[in-house]
Amino acid sequence: MSLDILTIGEILVEVMAKNVDQDFLHPGEFLGPFPSGAPAIFIDQVAKLGLRGGILGCVGEDDFGKNVFERLKKDGVDISLIKKSKEYITGIAFVTYFSNGERKFIFHLPHSAAGQIHPEDVSEKLIKDIKCLHIMGCSLAINENVRKAIEKAVDLSFEFGKMITFDPNIRVELGLSEEYLKTINKIISKTSIILSGERELLTITGKRDLKLAINYLKDIGIKIVVLKKGKKGAEVFYENKTFKVDPLEIEEVDPTGAGDCFDAGFIVSILEGRSVEEALTRANIIGALSVTKKGPMEGVVRRDILEKFLKG
């Protein structure tokens, strides 16, 4: 089946600390497992908005794998590209939150099923049948074969004139090697839309301030730069114009996955032919509403809920 949007990367479960400021150094209570993985959350939100979304990934033949696989299937994601491994267990992320707004992760990814994505899994036929390829920077840090598979998909998408969108989504816990940053720069040179936080934008461009970073991205050919500012709203830079949206007053329960849902809202809107300003508005609402439920994938927003919110 042809896809509107394809993503590639980790499909995992998340186990989160029950209490704020609970560290990993002492025994404590945890909640989960919740379906998770940045690309998985993203594509689940795409499906909830009614577009055809698929993910190339791998889960283990275990209960964690069944947990997230069945959730994606139920929500309408094309699961035909999800492999199942008997040798590797499903990827796991442990997360804890702190009162200053920071999070800390421990990942089991490189040697899990999440790391079993290879270049041979990416074919010309697969890429020819999509409209957009969305890549998350965190997936590039899993291991070498995942990185090479993503690079192949980007190269083919660029060759076939497909839209390529990129979210740096840097996870320092997975490392910031020279090879990793080099790969990111190769990808952004072929990207149409980049969606990023300010710190990530400075990291991947190597610039000292935001204006220099945005100008650099425009100079290398990126058409749309979206800046996600969390509780400060969001901005989009397009054709020498800047559009801004203010944050919504929402009671935050769990911020994990908000950026992934935001990405989906923006990219879906662009594929539907909406203006960048309208896309930003819709993405901002989706990102905000996604934090109102516990669990990284639990806050994905159905299209009817979005439309109802827009009508007031």
Distances (CA, A) of 215 to 128, 144, 201, 220: 31, 31, 11, 9
Residue 147's pLDDT is 95
- Specify the higher pLDDT residue, 170 or 263: 263
Average model confidence (pLDDT) across the chain: 94
What is the model's pLDDT at position 180?
A: 82
Q: Please, what is the angle between helix 178-188 and helix 144-159, to 10°? A: 10
Query: Where does residue 217 rank: exposed (0-12), middle (13-18), buried (19+ CB within 10 A)?
Result: buried
pLDDT in tens, 67-115: 999 999 999 999 999 999 999 999 999 999 999 888 888 999 889 999 9
Tell me the pLDDT band of 230, cut-offs 50, 70 and 90: confident
Who has greater pLDDT, 240 or 225? Answer: 225
Q: Torsions phi, psi of 24, nearest 5?
A: -95, 5
DSSP secondary structure, the chain, as one string: --EEEEEES--EEEEEESSTT--SSS---EEEEEEE-HHHHHHHHHHHTTS-EEEEEEEESSHHHHHHHHHHHHTT-B-TTEEEESSSPPEEEEEEE-TTS-EEEEEE-TTSGGG---GGG--HHHHHTEEEEEEEHHHHTS-HHHHHHHHHHHHHHHHTT-EEEEE----GGG---HHHHHHHHHHHTT-SEEEE-HHHHHHHHT-SSHHHHHHHHHHTT-SEEEEE-GGG-EEEEETTEEEEEPPP----S--TTHHHHHHHHHHHHHHTT--HHHHHHHHHHHHHHGGGSSSTTTT---HHHHHHHHH-
Between CA 110 and CA 120 the distance in angstroms is 18
- Walk me through the domains of the chain, giving residue ranges and CATH numbers: 3-311 (3.40.1190.20)
Q: What is the pLDDT of residues 183-194, one digit of tens each?
A: 999 999 999 999
Instruction: Report the Cα 263 to chain-centroid distance in Å.
Output: 7
Q: Give percent above pLDDT 70 in the chain.
A: 98
Assign 131 a pLDDT band (cuts: 50, 70, 90).
very high
From the list 173, 112, 169, 191, the residue with the least C-alpha distance to 145 is: 112
